[in-house]
Structure 1
Amino acid sequence: MINFVTKLILWTKERSFFRSVQATLVMLMPITVIGSYFDLMNKLVFSPNGLIYNIFNLDKIMSDHIWYGGSFVCRGMVSITFGAFGAYAAFFMARYTARIYHKDSTMAGLSAVLVLLFCSYASSSVNQRLGTTNLLQVNGIFIALMVGYGVGQIFHWLGARYQLVANETAGWIRRRAENSALPLLVSLIFGIMLGIIIYELQLKVLNSGSFRGIVLRLQTTDNLGDVLLLSILVTALAWLGIGYPLESLSGAISNNYTTANLTYALQHGNSWQVPYKFLGSSLINSYGIMGGASVVLAVIVLMLLRHRNSNIEALALVNLLPAAFGSTVGFTLGLPIILNPLFLLPMVTLPLINMVLAASAISLNLIPASVYPILTGTPGILIPFFGTNGNWSALVFALMLFLLDLLLLWPLIKVSERIDQQAKLRREATIDVQK
């Protein structure tokens, strides 16, 4: 069975789309790491709801100049990394796709950026400001990758064969531009048509508002069946690179249901018998994904324990701190986990298993429901502890869930290593044949 799964995933990862996705995300890994650390600093230190900001009472000991300056730098760096990530992704996705077919990859990348920017303009036309749309955000990377791949395929079919030369003369560059004129024109027509569709139908592709119904239902439903089904949907979307629904569930949420739970807890001094025990927003964030600890942090820990690949170990180590405090984007894109066929099943099933076990424990009064507000940047494993106002049974239960996630992911990491090894052998065999 393991051999079959290994061969299937290896075959899938060798398709042009997944090859381009992996190359693109690995290339952009430094940007995601930089963005993760500045995002972490902004959440922990320069946010009034941040964990470190409140623990050390930085409002009293940090001057306004330092606070505003630090906040400005952090928000600016997050904006140019995560806020413009779609443009980078579209460029490299088109570039690597065109390179597979020996076409002009640089012109393909530039064409993809033009297409995405026009779609971004169309999506943000209400505000009449370029770049305000979520099409360019890191949590909407799926559309950027699809645009890049589509443009790469246009160059595949219409572009002239390209061979890299050491010294390009002005005449050579002119011929490159001429050879790219047709695929560039077709790409722009494709982008204009897509932009018109977005504008006319008011699709707001990958805008958080597109998924408002899903998020609102998860935030307000106390029906465990609905919670589990919707959690499958939002975690599958997160694997695709559409992270808005899941991100919306990880922040502070206030509605009539959360207010009723919190009011009961404050009146009775605990949250054992709150009226909405299985509220989706608290269940998925506290126990389903545990601020990213359920899958992402578990994968990082296992890769650090295995010590099999120095490059992967270095990637895991540099992302350990952000992931521990809930900033997991750097690792999910850098490994990558997003759009990696190997991680689709655990991304969906592990949060599901965690929530079923947590709901069972809550119904049996083994742990109370999480109803108290959580400071931003709280480590994922500690979210149930603080969400229950310091209940130790909730902390122990969260640690047990994390250990269970480690055990369930262990075979997957071994399969991942086997796939990497076989992929390496195939590459070496291909090189030998070419020689």
Structure 2
Amino acid sequence: SRQTGFTLVEVLVAISIIGIMASLLLPAVAKSKTKTKRIQCLGNLTQIGKALYVYGNDHDGRLPWQILPSDQKVELGSGWDDFTMDPAAIFSLPPMKLELGTVKVLLSPLDPERAAYNESAEADWEKYSPINEKLIPPNAISYLLSEGGDLGRPGTVLATTRNLSKCDLAEARWLGADEPVRFRDAMAGLMKGQGNVVLADGSAHFSTDADLGPIGQFTVQHHRSSGGQSLGAASTVMLGCCGGFEEVPITKVFNTTNGNHHVFIIDKSGSMRNDNRLNLAKAAMVDALYKITPRKKFYIYFFDSGSTPMPGESKRGFKWEVDSIISWVDDKDPGGSTNPLDALQDSFERIGPDTIWLLTDGRFNCRGGGNAVRDLIQNLNTNQMTRVNTVGFHRRPEGVDPILSEIAQDNNGTYYFSRSYKDGKPPQ
């Protein structure tokens, strides 16, 4: 009897058909999996929104970054002035942890690069608390919080995925894993123009670039909202977003090689007491002054709730000129809030430097916040004749005002980040 079977040509045709079908089906399967992960990410954001809502209901409608200083000291402990605007501290609050249930909620399935950090954080979930100064690691978190989020303004943004190009919704777009440049804040599962958002009304949304920027749908309804815990337009600054920076030890941050007239505007608010920051910043500045040549000039401001200018006019880089201001510098102690507006205005209008160094360890809490600081500098430096370098001094880049990056970029400067340590010195 004759055996039947496929000829070689028939087998090759069948294989080709299977290959074509696979090439058609696999992208659809992959796309379906990605969409499923985006939906799961929305679920995480919804849970974060719920946790913030419950917290707010228990605190007279105030979100963690809006609570009164008396409550901040109770809930955030001795580091309260460092932690108020820090998502790592906010998510570590016991009431927030209770509603979140697990640190896994803070990891987007679209953010596999942070999965290992999140898994490590799971083991210490019960130990995290700002009171103990033990916080969830920032690199275990896939989401940012919105400074302008307000339960009394339902249209405001509460939280987003972390893949924003800038720390301000009014200027940002969604970064993607498919872009030719590899961005630090991109997420592997989100392509260019894709992000996720949760609003104060509890609704979570897929988002595109059309929602962001000065005329974006979410930005406009957020910015134009009213009511809640504050007057005026809602801040569009994002918390947990640190912008691009160059990390430099505090001892080396004040490089005066470029420029002939340097003004130092140094934060001496209450939080500068932490980690001995004020003394370290003063020492670094004085060391830089002793290194400048007599042909260069310098002037100094310290700021807290207001401005404390150096007596007299700018001084030359003679040793005896530097010696003459040491006791004045040493007398400055930390205390008060973080408002550099008066110092900046006087610097531009009276001193007229070619280089400004603006150092802070937190967020500007003058009326209008960081945006008010940025706007003032833009209005005073219209001809771009003054370079403005900014310095963030904190344990984590996320702990300082993200507007520092924008200010430096606007004014031909560099944003430097200097890390502080609990005992004032880096671990050996």
The structure having more radius of gyration, on CA atoms, is 2
Structure with the bigger RCO (C-alpha within 8 Å, sep 6+) is: 1
Which structure has greater strand proportion?
2
Give the alignment's TM-score, normalised by structure 1.
Answer: 0.26
Give the alignment's TM-score, normalised by structure 2.
Answer: 0.26
Which structure has greater helix proportion?
1
